Amino acid sequence: MSRILFYLDGYSHDVWREAFRAVDPSVEFRGFPDWGSPDDGPAYAFVWEAEPGLLKRFPNIKAIFSLGAGVDHLMRDPDLPKDVPIIRMGDDGLKEGMAEYVLMSVLMHHRQMPLLATAQSKARWQRVFSRPARHVRVGILGYGALGKCAAEALKPLGYNIAAWSRSPKPAEDGVQHFTGEDALNDFLARTDILVGLLPSTKETEGLLNFDRLSRLPEGASVINAGRGTLIVLEDLIALLNSGYLKGATLDVFPEEPLPADSPLWHQEGLLITPHCAAITRPDTAAEYVVRNIGRIEAGEVPENILDLGRGY
């Protein structure tokens, strides 16, 4: 029997309790604030944006599972226990959702939907011609598990795909790899539709500034489904307004929810989605957590364990 200390503010815990029961009825599910006493013995934390200091007060936590692929919400806790393994979410539902979102967004920019949405708002029948997919160069910026799934979803359509990552990745068919900061500008220069899937770290904050975005060819589009800190938004807006960039889709923002008075909502050529590209699904996430608790109990290494040195 494993005990799970669950934290997710603003949502009912019932669907999560049921999901764990369906996977393993022996799991004891405790939703915050009913975590019981810190002395209750071994437990696993499964949290999203838990209040700072909370995890430290439960010294018997054996591992911390993040409810999302990002762990920046944990890193912001100055009292985060240092010796407890942290496991990022990697459930199949999250991967499927991201693959769908990236495929949809790439198709929308390839087929010029932002321009057609503007035309519709002006009651204008504006014929557009789009290039064949094999002449459209998609660039995936950040090539972890989610980036790889996005590439697999894009491949059947014949897009010309490249991926950039900090560390080298194994060669694969249908994806040209770029590695390290030195290769970033070359990667941007060959990319018509950029897909941001980077985590939030010191290195990625503000990475896509005016200079970097200007390395993209004229008429390029930008999609960000990673973290909102990646892009300097004023620079993106300036390049959209000048017509250098053709369009953008943003799912993530430095401040979420995006404030109602933000001018971004009404920016022409910009599509906004409310951080819903990939939402952790209770059914597949419960399977994932139970499977990895099993690995930990068996003395094995869990999937997607955090590398604290890299910060993701």
Unique residue bearing structure tokens 């911390």: 64
Nearer to its own copies, 17 or 109 (CB): 109
Sheet holding 247-250: strands in order across? 175-179, 160-165, 137-141, 193-196, 221-224, 247-250, 270-272
| Binding footprint of its own copies on the chain (CB under 8 A) | 93, 96-97, 99-101, 103-104, 107-108, 110-111, 113, 116-117, 119-121, 123-130, 132-133, 153, 156-158, 256-258, 260-262, 265-266, 271-276, 279, 281
What letter would DSSP give residue 250? E
Let me know if 73 is a catalytic residue: no
Compute the least distance from the CB of residue 85 to its own copies, in Å: 29
Bridge partner residues of 164 (DSSP): 141, 178
Nearer to its own copies, 126 or 241 (CB): 126
Nearer to its own copies, 207 or 277 (CB): 277
Let me know if 275 is a catalytic residue: yes
Q: Which amino acid is at 52?
A: P
* Separation between Cα atoms, residue 216 and residue 212, nearest integer Å: 7
22: left (phi over 0), alpha (psi -120 to 50) or beta: alpha
Nearer to its own copies, 147 or 302 (CB): 147
Pick from 99, 40, 6: nearest CA to 286: 6
Compute the least distance from the CB of residue 270 to its own copies, in Å: 9
Compute the least distance from the CB of residue 163 to its own copies, in Å: 19
Handedness of CA 283, 70, 146, 232 (dihedral sign): positive
Q: Measuring CA to CA, how many Å separate 8 from each of 12, 16, 132, 161?
A: 8, 10, 44, 36
Catalytic pick from 227, 266, 291, 310? 227
Compute the least distance from the CB of residue 304 to its own copies, in Å: 20
Nearer to its own copies, 78 or 257 (CB): 257
| Joined tokens for residue 231 | 């892009």
Nearer to its own copies, 104 or 184 (CB): 104
Compute the least distance from the CB of residue 308 to its own copies, in Å: 31
Q: Measuring CA to CA, how many Å separate 103 from each of 99, 142, 240?
A: 6, 16, 22
CB proximity list for 261: less than 8 A, separation 6 or greater: none
* Separation between Cα atoms, residue 220 and residue 186, nearest integer Å: 15
Catalytic pick from 275, 281, 295, 310? 275
Compute the least distance from the CB of residue 195 to its own copies, in Å: 15
Active site residue ranges: 227, 275
